[in-house]
């Protein structure tokens, strides 16, 4: 994985954009399940799932809620599994909810890997020269939730030391404490945002050509990596245009089994997603041969 992190930021950014795009357009439970396994393997090699562990509770609870709530609010489908109080629970709704849950969990795990590989310096290096406002907005958006979590943890420690806790006491007191937490969090974030904006304005951000503290050299291996990603992405996209990698559920659900031709495009799809693993293995092989 170190070999993938050392690549040019353009390569890493194109990989994550392409991976998210393919996960969204390839709506098939087998494709989504296989993609999730690859992404988990990438996160494991990056930080031994430390980043995913922080989001594990949210990912599991949200996935279960989607799987459970979709059949409750959606009765469409011909294959009725059972009925509860004259409400039909259909196979189509259950499969559709499972696909959405796999998609959401996979995208979150992919963003965890993105935060591990793409530092703010890399993102600013890519876009600050011709889209400075977009670069800052994108960087702030991607780090918004992790930053809010860290700030809320700091506020919780301080408020708990003052005797204000959301764990103990009556539910009304805990609700008031929670509102206080949110109020402090918003004031804290707004004050820091104003300070950051004043600092950027004073330094002339967005005016003229901007230099970068960290300079990344586009090497020959980066060109080959981009060509590899582009070629595999286009091949998978062609397969999707032919109808592969998509499970039609409504009005009549197709069979979830994949054909040999579709299996070939699944292999190409996994080749694209496993690019960080391929890059890591390639770097290890070159290191062993050089020694």
Note whether 59 and 113 are same-domain residues. Answer: yes
Interatomic CA distance for residues 154 and 179, integer angstroms: 16
Q: Is 161 in the same domain as 82?
A: no
**Boundary residue ending a domain (161, 176, 211):** 211
More confident residue, 22 or 254: 22
Among candidate residues 189, 211, 233, the one where a domain is terminated: 211
Separation between Cα atoms, residue 248 and residue 256, nearest integer Å: 9
Could you report the per-residue pLDDT of 184-193, keeping only the tens digit for each?
878 877 777 7
Q: Are 154 and 224 members of one domain?
A: no
Q: Are 167 and 232 part of one and the same domain?
A: no
Pick 164 or 60 by higher pLDDT. 60
Please give the share of the chain, as a percent, with pLDDT higher than 90. 26
Same domain as 229, residue 186: no
Same domain, 154 and 124: no
135 in a structural domain? no
Q: CA-to-CA distance for 178 and 187, rounded, in angstroms?
A: 14
Task: Give the number of other CB atoms < 10 A from CB of residue 273.
Answer: 26
**Percent with pLDDT over 70 in the chain:** 84
The answer to whether residues 120 and 229 belong to one domain is yes
Same domain, 231 and 95: yes
19-48 pLDDT, tens per residue?
999 999 998 999 999 999 999 999 988 888
269 found inside a domain = yes
Let me know if residue 6 belongs to a domain: yes
Give CA 81 to chain center in angstroms: 33
Q: For helices 29-47 and 275-290, what crossing angle results, to 10°? A: 40
Q: Among the three residues 211, 229, 256, which one is the final residue of a domain in this structure?
A: 211
Answering whether pTM is above 0.85, one says no
Question: Residue 137 falls within a domain, yes or no?
Answer: no
The tens digit of pLDDT for each residue in 113-123 reads 988 888 777 87
Helical packing angle, 144-161 and 132-142, nearest 10° = 50
Q: Is the residue at 84 inside a domain?
A: yes
Residue 290 has pLDDT above 80, yes or no: no
Residue 115 sits in the same domain as residue 199: no
- What sections of 128-250 are H helices per DSSP? 132-142, 144-161, 171-202, 220-241
The torsion angles phi and psi of 255, rounded to 5 degrees, stand at -75, 140
Containing domain of residue 154, as a range?
142-211
Which residue from 21, 32, 88 is spatially nearest to 247, judged by alpha carbons?
A: 32
Other beta carbons less than 10 A from residue 199's beta carbon: 10
Same domain, 157 and 74: no
- Within-domain flag for 134: no
Three-state secondary structure readout of 96-130: HHHHHHHHHHHHHHHHHHHHHHCCHHHHHHHHCCC
Asked if residue 278 and residue 231 are part of one domain, the reply reads yes
What is the distance between the alpha carbons of residues 106 and 23, in angstroms, rounded to a whole number? 8
**Nearest partner of 92 among 74, 109, 114, judged by Cα:** 74
What are residue 84's DSSP bridge partners? 87
For the chain, how many structural domains are there in total? Answer: 2
d(CA 227, CA 274): 15
CA atoms of 159 and 153, how far apart (whole Å): 10
Whether residues 82 and 6 share a domain: the answer is yes
């Amino acid at each position: 994985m170190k070999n993938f992190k050392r690549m040019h930021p353009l390569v890493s950014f194109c990989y994550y954009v392409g991976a998210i795009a393919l996960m969204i357009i390839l709506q098939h439970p087998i494709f989504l399940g296989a993609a999730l396994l690859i992404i988990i393997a990438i996160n494991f090699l990056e930080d031994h799932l430390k980043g995913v562990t922080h989001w594990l509770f949210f990912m599991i609870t949200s996935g279960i809620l989607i799987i459970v709530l979709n059949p409750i609010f959606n009765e469409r489908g011909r294959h009725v599994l059972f009925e509860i109080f004259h409400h039909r629970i259909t196979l189509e709704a259950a499969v559709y909810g499972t696909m959405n849950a796999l998609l959401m969990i996979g995208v979150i795990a992919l963003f965890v890997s993105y935060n591990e590989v793409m530092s703010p310096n890399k993102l600013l290096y890519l876009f600050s020269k011709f889209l400075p406002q977009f670069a800052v907005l994108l960087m702030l958006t991607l780090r918004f939730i992790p930053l809010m979590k860290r700030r809320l943890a700091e506020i919780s420690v301080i408020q708990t030391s003052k005797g204000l806790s959301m764990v103990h006491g009556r539910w009304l007191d805990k609700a008031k404490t929670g509102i206080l937490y949110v109020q402090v969090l918003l004031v804290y974030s707004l004050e820091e945002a104003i300070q950051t904006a004043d600092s950027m304005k004073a330094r002339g951000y967005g005016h003229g050509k901007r230099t970068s503290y960290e300079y990344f050299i586009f090497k020959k291996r980066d060109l080959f990596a981009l060509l590899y990603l582009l070629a595999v992405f286009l091949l998978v996209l062609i397969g999707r245009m032919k109808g592969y990698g998509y499970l039609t559920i409504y009005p009549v659900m197709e069979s979830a089994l994949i054909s040999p031709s579709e299996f070939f495009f699944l292999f190409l799809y996994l080749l694209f997603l496993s690019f960080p693993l391929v890059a890591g293995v390639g770097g290890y092989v070159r290191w062993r041969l050089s020694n």
